Each structure stands twice: as C-alpha cells, then as structure tokens.
Amino acid sequence: MPQCTGNTKSGSRCKRLVKEGEKFCGVHADQAPHVDQAAEEPAHDADCCESLLDRDPVDALVAVAVGGVLLGAALVFRRIFRIL
C-alpha cells in the first residue's frame, strides 16, 4: 500500500498508508489540491444550447404540431377506454 503524501504539522511526511489510487490519508485530505470543476468541463459551443425555437421556425411549428397530435390522441384514447 502506498504512503500518504501529506505533511504533518512539524513538516515531515505522513507515515500513514492509503488505498491504491489515493495520495492522501483522511487526516491530510485537506492538503489535496482542489480541482476547479469549471476548468474540467468542456467549453460549450454557442450552437449546443440553442432551443428548437431559435433554429428554424418551420421545425418549431412541426414540433408543436406533433406534440398537439400526440396530446389529442392521448385524450381520445382516454375517452374511448374510459381511463381516468
């Protein structure tokens, strides 16, 4: 098992053992370098966050029409089979 890479109050290296893949024990976990999560996230393109309405009005109209048809079909199905 690897040794903790943290430093004690006196400045010497910690002698505690850590699990494989870890560098710091629980006592020295606060010495681990903090990674900025925003820096890890990939930059977003301007196109990735567009809504359907921003792209093409015809596509938006088709999407609304399809949604309306599906909603209407669900209401008809409910009425035919008397489902609450």
Co-location of 82 and 57 in the same domain: yes
23-33: per-residue pLDDT in tens?
999 898 888 88
- Number of domains forming the structure of the chain: 2
- High-pLDDT (> 70) share of the chain, %: 71
In a domain, 45, yes or no: no
**CB contact at 8 A, 16 and 4:** yes
**Helix or strand or coil: residue 13?**
strand
- Split at pLDDT 50, 70, 90, the class of 46 is low
Q: Give 17: exposed, middle or buried? Use CB within 10 Å, 0-12, 13-18, 19+.
A: exposed
Domain that holds residue 55: 50-84
In a domain, 43, yes or no: no
In a domain, 77, yes or no: yes
pTM summary value: 0.39
